[in-house]
Every structure is written in structure tokens, then in C-alpha cells.
Structure 1
């Protein structure tokens, strides 16, 4: 009797991205952080659509669970920067705005507008209204006459004309926007919300970053240091680049990759009462000097001083300069 030939079984080949998921998810003892080089390669594959949807979700949530390291953030940033097609545009301040506000109005928008009137070239970028119940920069650009730019040419023109431009992440890094948009599918914000803050796509003289979660500001500062960037990281109000004048603010700075720290005291002896609701028209009223309001004026002045500090102005002089700028602003919109 003839015996049947042995069947030859071949295991399917492992997906090239699988090792990166395994590194992060191999249990308490086996898992580890990605190296900077691994992070750069992994992000490159994500940006080039070389992963499966299941791998993308697993990768983002494993990172979210363990929290990203400075080396991972630096590697991710390098991968994004390598693939950007942005032209050479001179910028003083890179101003990411991705969190949205829910306790106070976005007074940082008035701070940026006032700085721009005084020659500070500011590039703002954001990821849209991804979380219910928050007020986002994009929703107020038109009312405040802040240019919404959809390509690099219009950014350059807006900066040359008025020193301020806003460009949605969707228009310069659509893959990252797609990952941010998974927030309501995955139920959690992904590390891309943090990554977008450190990218500084136009190589501005200083990148401002706001990281709300305690202890994570130093990780962002270390990532900026690895990249050799100039930056200041704060725990801004609501996660936006806006100083809360009611509390002490710690500045985690880097200059040419070298770290430094400063503490700015609270500007108010007692906490202000949070408004019952956010009324965007109050932004215009304050800008036009139709009302006086202690909290927003302290918030925007200290936020202006923060940007000036990032450009090398010492703290006391930065506050004096910010006050002069505000007092002499053109109140028309």
C-alpha cells in the first residue's frame, strides 16, 4: 500500500510591522520602549500606509498605555520631518493648538494676534474639533480675522502680510490627522496628539508646547533636546499654550538642545471664578477694549511674555514688552 506523501505546510510570513507591535506589547517582562531608530522606522511605515488597520490601532493604544519615551518622540518627529514638503518660510514661533478649551475662552488667540501686530511671525496649526464640549481655534479664526491657510504658499503670504497664519494639520500631514480622528473610535486620545505639538514643521526659532498631564512636560523637553530644538514646554490651561495666571507656571526650556528651567509665580493672589459658559463674543469685546476683565488680561499678557521669553527676552522685560504691545494694539478686527 502506498502511503500518501507528507503534506508540506508553510507558515504565513510575518508582517514587517509586527515586530514593532511585539516590542511594545510583549507583556510586563518582555515589553520595552522603542529605540529612536525603531520609532523613526515605525512612524515611517505608518506615514507610507505600510501597516494594517489592526496594527495601527494596536500600536497607538500600546503606546498610549505605556506612555511615550523621549527617544520615541524624537524618532517619530524625525520620520515626519523627513517626509514634509514644506518650503523655507521664516517663522519666529511655532504655536500648536490641539487641545481645545472648556473652562476658559482661548485667550491665547488674542495673545498671538497682538504679538503678530508687533512683528512676531507666528505659525499656528491644529487638528480640528475632535472632542465634544470644547472650543477649538479653528472655530474662531474667521471672527478674529486670523488667516486660515490651506497650503504653504498661502501660509507664506499670510506671514508676510500680517505675521500670523493658521494651517490645519490635515493640509500638511493628513496621515497624522487620520490618526487623531481615531480618537472616537478607540475611545482615547493617541500619542499623535502629543506628537503634533513637537513637530515644528517650519523650523521656527522657538516651538511652544503645552502638555497638560503632570510629569510629561519633561519628556517633551527631553525629546526637543534630542532633536536640538529651541522650545518651551508648559502645563498650559486646558492643554493649550496659555499661561494660567492663577497658578505657578514651570517652564521646561531647551535652547540649542540644552535644557533650562524657570518658575513663574501666580499673577493673582486669589483664584478667579470660572465663567458659567464660554461666550466667544467676549474675545472680541476684550480686544476692542469694550470690557475690562482681570483673568483674560493676565492670561494673555503672560502668554505673550512666554512667547517673547522663547525668543530670548528675559522674563521681566518680556512682561513689560507684552504690556506695551497690548496697550498699543490696533483694536480693529
Structure 2
């Protein structure tokens, strides 16, 4: 009688990364920067099973990603970018969506672009119910929607402002973001998109809402050799909340710095009953007033000017001047 031979199936190459993160309280550890780079490379190249993808993202979400992991992930993404050399002053990721206040930061970006600053906006679409996303307001505010890098360059040359959806330049990351409603939680990909700076802008602006993550993002940008400012922006977007103190986490040329910006309003403003896109357009045209919006726009413009080297008081003054001098048409 021939003895029965049992064959053990080979382990999937990605299993090691799931094991590193999920091997219990005592056995689990962070990925090294090199491991993170390799793991993300496999994810982006489609060499991972869907079950592994879900497990990996949720283990990271539960553990909370480290700066070394974020840097390694970003390096894998950048190695797969097929973007031409395009001069950009500010990289402005927009992935959170707004639910309490209108996205005043879009007007700040428009006014800065109107003054000659070249700004790249990018986002991941409406992934969470009850929020207003930048993509929904592009037509209303005449912000160019670009589906490739050639169109981005044309828009930057013409309007100094361009928006490109994540799915058009890194589709695998968009797929991971879209798992939000299947997994029930946002994944670390939502954070990763903030530090990617795909065109190597002079400075990257980042908004991270959850406490403690701001310093991690700054460290990741420092590891990548980038200049960046990280804030806890209103609603998770790059927007100064004028009713609250803002802490700026800056990095550049290998050095870190911190600043506290005091609230611009002595009393908190009442949030609007509903978010009306036309109110943004009317405010841009000077047809309506909005005290909260005025403070949010000017202080967010000042944040961008601070990112490019201007001191706070000078940045606030010049932001007000640039806002007053904007072209109020939306054609």
C-alpha cells in the first residue's frame, strides 16, 4: 500500500507582512521602512489577495501607522508615478470632505492661484456619506478638473490651479479608499495620500484631524526630505478654524519647527444649518458677506504663505490684500 503523501501549500509572499502586524500583543511590531516599501509595492502591483488587503489595512488602522511605515509606503507610490516635471508651489490634498462648515479652503486656493501661486489639488472622491467634497464644487468655482498630467500642466500654466482625482494617477490607492464602506473604517490610505506630494511641490500642506497623528506625518515628510506643514484642519481639510487655536507642525531642510496661531475670533460662530455651494460662489463674487468665511479664507491663505516662508503677521496682512485684489469673476 502506497503511503499517503501530504503536500503543504506554499505561503503567500505577502503573508509575512500580515503576520508582522498581527502576531498578538507581544509578537506584533511595526514594519520597517523597507518592509513597508515592499508591502506597498505588492499592493500597488496587484500581487495581493483581497483578504490580505483587508487584513493588512485594518491591522494598520488598529495599530496606528508609524512615520517609517508612512515614508516606506510613500516611496513605493512615488516609484510608480509616471508624472512629468511640472513646477508646483503648493501640494494641496483634499480627501476628508466637510460636514460642519463649507469648504472655504477652496476659495483660499483660488485666491492664491489668482495671485500667481501654482497649486495642485487632489482628492479621492465622496467616500463617506453626509460630507461635501471638493470634486462636487469644481464646476461651481471654476476649478479645472484634470484627468491626466498633461491637462494638469495646461491648467497650471493658464489658471495656476488644477485638481486631479487620485484614481487618475494612482488607481490602486483609490480602490483602497473605496473600501471604506466595506471595511467600516477609514484605512491608513486616507492618511498616506496627504504626504504623497506627487509633483514634488515646494511645500506640501497636510491636514490630519486625529490628535497625535500630526507629529507622525511631519516625521514621515522629514524622512522623505520634503518641506511640509501639518495642521489639524477644520473637518480634516487644509483650512484654519478661526474659532480655535491652530498648531502648525513644520519641517524643511531637515529641521522641525512648531507655531501656535491664536484664534481670530473671540467667540465661536454658529455653524450653518445647511451647506450651500452657491453661498461660496456668491461670497467669492462679493455678493454676500460671511464673517466666519472671511476669517477662514484669509487665515488659510496665510497658512499657505507661511508654508512658503513668510512670518505669520506678514502672511495675514498679505493674505488680506490678495483676497481684496482677487478677480471676482467665476468665468
- Confirm whether residue 205 of structure 1 aligns to residue 223 of structure 2: no
Partner of 2:308: 311
TM-score by length of 1: 0.98
The one-character-per-residue Cα deviations of 1:12-54 (angstroms, maximum 9, x if unpaired) are: 1000000000000000000000000000000000000000000
Name which of 290, 295, 298 aligns with 1:298. 295
Aligned mates of 1:327, 1:47 — CA distance in 2: 45
Aligned mates of 1:89, 1:319 — CA distance in 2: 28
Are the aligned partners of 1:227 and 1:257 in contact in 2 as well (CA < 8 Å)? no
SS in 2 for 1:141: helix
**Structure 1 unmatched runs, 5+:** none
Name which of 39, 42, 48 aligns with 1:42. 39
Question: What is the deviation of 1:6?
Answer: 2.5
TM-score by length of 2: 0.99
Aligned mates of 1:68, 1:76 — CA distance in 2: 10
The one-character-per-residue Cα deviations of 1:220-266 (angstroms, maximum 9, x if unpaired) are: 00101111100000000000000000000000000123211011000
Aligned mates of 1:284, 1:257 — CA distance in 2: 40
Name which of 87, 92, 112 aligns with 2:89. 92
Q: 1:267-282, aligned counterparts within 5 Å?
A: 267-282=264-279
Partner of 1:111: 108
Greater than 4 Å deviation, 4+ residue runs: none
Name which of 168, 172, 176 aligns with 2:169. 172
The one-character-per-residue Cα deviations of 1:177-203 (angstroms, maximum 9, x if unpaired) are: 000000000011110000001000000
Q: 1:1-333, aligned counterparts within 5 Å?
A: 4-333=1-330
Aligned mates of 1:258, 1:86 — CA distance in 2: 28
**Structure 2 unmatched runs, 5+:** none
Aligned mates of 1:178, 1:314 — CA distance in 2: 40
More off after superposition, 310-319 vs 232-241? 310-319
| Coordinate RMSD, CA, aligned | 0.6
SS in 2 for 1:85: coil
SS in 2 for 1:209: strand
Aligned mates of 2:63, 2:95 — CA distance in 1: 22
Aligned mates of 1:259, 1:174 — CA distance in 2: 32
Are the aligned partners of 1:103 and 1:238 in contact in 2 as well (CA < 8 Å)? yes
Question: What is the deviation of 1:9?
Answer: 1.6
Are the aligned partners of 1:245 and 1:298 in contact in 2 as well (CA < 8 Å)? yes
Question: What is the deviation of 1:7?
Answer: 2.2
Q: Which structure has the larger Rg over C-alpha atoms?
A: 1
Are the aligned partners of 1:208 and 1:241 in contact in 2 as well (CA < 8 Å)? yes
Count residues in correspondence.
330
